[in-house]
A and B are shown apart, each in its own frame.
Chain A
Amino acid sequence: MTIEELRQEFPSLSASVNGHPLVYLDNAATAMRPRSVIEKWNDIVTNKNSNIYRAVHTTAALATKEVEQARECVRRFIGAESTKEVIFTSGATASLNMLAFCIGEAFIDRGDEVIVSAAEHHANIVPWQMMCRRKEAKLKVLPVNERGELCIDKLQSLITPRTKIISVAHISNVLGIVNPIREIADICHRHGVLLAVDGAQGIVHCSIDVKALDCDFYAFSGHKIYAAPGTGVLYGKETLLNALPPYMGGGEMIANVKWEGTTYAGLPYKFEAGTPNLAGIPTFIPALEMAVAMRCKPVIDNERGVVDYILEEFGKDTGIRIFGNPANREDKIPLFSIAVEGVHHEDLALIMDKMGIALRSGQLCAEPLMDSCGVTGMLRASFAAYNTLEEAQYFIKSLYRAIDMLR
């Protein structure tokens, strides 16, 4: 599949904004959706609209089949052992909140410790902070070095007998560096510590095999990987999920409800209280099919070309500071967060919007990382598989023009 053919599959890429063809570089916030996903959503709400699981009627059975087929697609996509390990949520944030709460209930006592990295999204900080506060546990921080790489060498010394779980991003939404999850998992497991991974960005840019990564939990959103918004997944090893209490009550999560007490359903339904996103979840089927199709040579070559081009261009201007520049360039995804000397990130985003380029500016949901980098915010350009090298060139040209206007 060529990039041009790929672009044809995404109707929203042909939009115009402010008199320019849209150059959409805010994919780390949310991706565009392919026609197949839009059609799937349309098909469900038009032809198979029904609540799932309980009803005996035919439409309900069709809707249930779609959701369970989506679960199997996700299982295959991430290499999970069983569909029992695939819990549908409303997104990565919901997955991480549920996980932090349940881990707290099951495994955390007063004085225990949780470790997150210095480069986490708020969604992988705040739920752990809330849980630590409730359980009187301690939240510790694994630092990153100047290049934006996790200081893995410091992890061992950070772990104590009280450390129960480490939660890190597979790829930081600010730094765009693939973290060595397998290496971290080995360190964790040597010390009997659990490993949770925030895969919101990782699921898009890496081939995920949860067994090879050996992480205990992996959380991600559907909307960043071309599926419908309001969908997400929490993967967990079956034995661990069985050891966790439910998060919310009601709906499909029960076995029997009596006034004397309730018994819970088995996995994965124990964690899926309430009506699931029955129109959104089936869009995982075409979305993941698209994600697999994107992992072909022309698309990968194009992506590496974008990374090389942008990093080289940024290297030419000493006034541009790039956050997340790993020693091994293979670890960098096409996500670039920068600060430009003497120019405010918001001014750049605003002007470049008028040039047709969608970018993100501000704290990027990572205020502690902004603080440690000594900036009030950054400008972020995040590319997807369907963004071309020409768009990257237009981005650079427009950036320099905007900087000229502002300086």
Chain B
Amino acid sequence: MLSLQEAKSRVLEDFSMYDQWLDKYEYLIELGKNLSPFPEEYKTDDRLIKGCQSRVWLHCEKQDGRLWFSADSDAIITKGIISLLIGVYSGRTPQEIASDDFAFVEELGLRENLSPTRANGLVSMIATIKKTASDEQ
């Protein structure tokens, strides 16, 4: 398994391959489509990430001291974004996640290329992942 730093670099590298934002979206759409199926029974209100305009569910399981995330959304680009995030942070220890600065998200340039409401959604996703990790410490 890649280290957290390596996983971030990989995502940044993949993302920077595309010059055009439309192509970057296409990449996110692919990520969204390839995300593992999320059990219907997990689509509960307590798993909904608050602050997103489309619905996003996040589920977390702890195994051998590491957190494993799964997620879903009814909007595919949002699903791609959460997929990208949990791809990087799944399998890390709560300490690793809670102490991370999530600065690579800024480097992706995602936030300024989303509408303000979507950008808020991204902030909410990050906050929820961080909080889940803090609670598990």
Q: Which residues of A contact B26 (CB under 8 A)?
A: 405
In this complex, how many residues of chain A approach chain B with their Cβ under 8 Å: the count is: 15
Complex partner residue of B75 from A347, A354, A405, CB under 8 angstroms = A347
A346 touches B54 (CB 8 A): yes
Q: Which residues of B contact A347 (CB under 8 A)?
A: 29, 75-78
Complex partner residue of A405 from B20, B29, B54, CB under 8 angstroms = B29
Q: Is B45 an interface residue (CB 8 A)?
A: no
Task: Answer whether A18 and B21 are a contact pair too, CB < 8 Å, given A344-B54, A344-B74, A350-B77.
Answer: yes
Give complex CA distance A347, B115 in Å.
11
Query: Which residue of B has the minimal Cβ distance to A345?
Result: B75
Query: Which residue of B has the minimal Cβ distance to A352?
Result: B22
What is the interface of chain A mostly: helix, strand, loop, or mixed? helix
Query: Which residue of B has the minimal Cβ distance to A342?
Result: B76
**Which chain A residues (347-377) contact chain B, with CB distance < 8 Å?**
347, 349-351, 353-355, 362, 376
A346 touches B29 (CB 8 A): no
Complex partner residue of A346 from B20, B22, B25, B78, CB under 8 angstroms = B78
A406 touches B21 (CB 8 A): no
A406 touches B22 (CB 8 A): no
CB distance from B50 to the nearest CB of A (A): 16
Give a binary string over A367-407; 1 marks a CB under 8 Å from any B CB, 0 the rest: 00000000010000000000000000000000000000110
A344 touches B76 (CB 8 A): yes
Q: Which residues of B contact A343 (CB under 8 A)?
A: 76
Give complex CA distance A406, B28 in Å.
10
B25 touches A351 (CB 8 A): yes
Which residues of B line the A interface, CB within 8 A?
Answer: 20-22, 25-26, 29, 53-55, 74-78, 114-115, 118
Q: Would you list 14 pairs from A and B whose C-beta atoms are within 8 A, ordered by A residue?
A: A18-B21, A346-B75, A347-B29, A347-B75, A347-B76, A349-B115, A351-B22, A353-B115, A354-B20, A354-B22, A376-B55, A376-B74, A405-B26, A405-B29
